[in-house]
Amino acid sequence: MVITAEQVRSLREQTGAGIMDCKNALAETGADLEKALIFLREKGLASAKKKSGRATSEGLVTSYIHAGGKVGVMVEINCETDFVAKTDDFQAFTKDVAMHIAAANPSYLTRDEVPTECVEKEQEILANQAKESGKPEAVIAKIVAGKMEKHFKDNCLMEQLFIKDTDKNIEGLLKEAVAKLGENIQIKRFARFEVGANVEG
């Protein structure tokens, strides 16, 4: 089986993986580009998991201003080394995250950050809605659980679908960045500002 330089180049462009990794992936998958993409993605996600415990003391605070200065975002994203923080790929990733926050307006970083009282209040509202619509008692808990999942996916940054590619969520985008850059990366915190958002009518 012959693996061409063109195949390797194509795979590198799509994944950002090293030449040897691309050659190995093509060899493992019979030079099937689609299968090689999946092979590398799975390998990258596995290595991303291994890196998740490593300290992140470098990184960037990135800002994004949208809609003629009406919406602004600041986000802190950490990595392991200043070298990676200065790369174009890392900076592009931070910009993508900041732009996503401006557009999708998440309330929390992860579902673990949602206060217990907010979760309980939302569950109560959903249960009452289900009761009022005549749903039987036996299925109300299941309905509430399903709607709470959607609530978390709508409001927690890491679970939101990425605005530029809705085939992945922000957690998936982060794992891809870890696999590509070879370091642990963490979205630490963010703030979103919108002109007039907190003005009482």
Q: pLDDT per residue over 22-68, tens digit each?
A: 888 888 888 888 888 888 777 765 455 566 666 778 999 999 998 78
- Please give the CATH architecture assigned to the domain spanning 5-51: Orthogonal Bundle (1.10)
CATH code given to domain 58-109+156-194 = 3.30.479.20
pTM surpassing 0.85?
Answer: no
Classify 162 in phi/psi space as left (phi over 0), alpha (psi -120 to 50) or beta. Answer: beta
3-state helix, strand and coil shares in percent for the chain, rounded to the nearest 5? 60, 20, 25
pLDDT band at residue 5, thresholds of 50, 70 and 90? confident
Cite the residue boundaries of each domain of the chain with CATH code 3.30.479.20: 58-109+156-194
Cite the residue boundaries of each domain of the chain with CATH code 1.10.8.10: 5-51
CB 177 within 8 A of CB 72: no
- Please give the CATH architecture assigned to the domain spanning 115-155: Orthogonal Bundle (1.10)
Question: How far is C-alpha 93 from the chain's CA centre?
Answer: 10
Q: pLDDT per residue over 142-178, tens digit each?
A: 999 999 999 999 999 999 999 999 999 999 999 999 9
Pull the structure tokens for residue 26: 């093509």
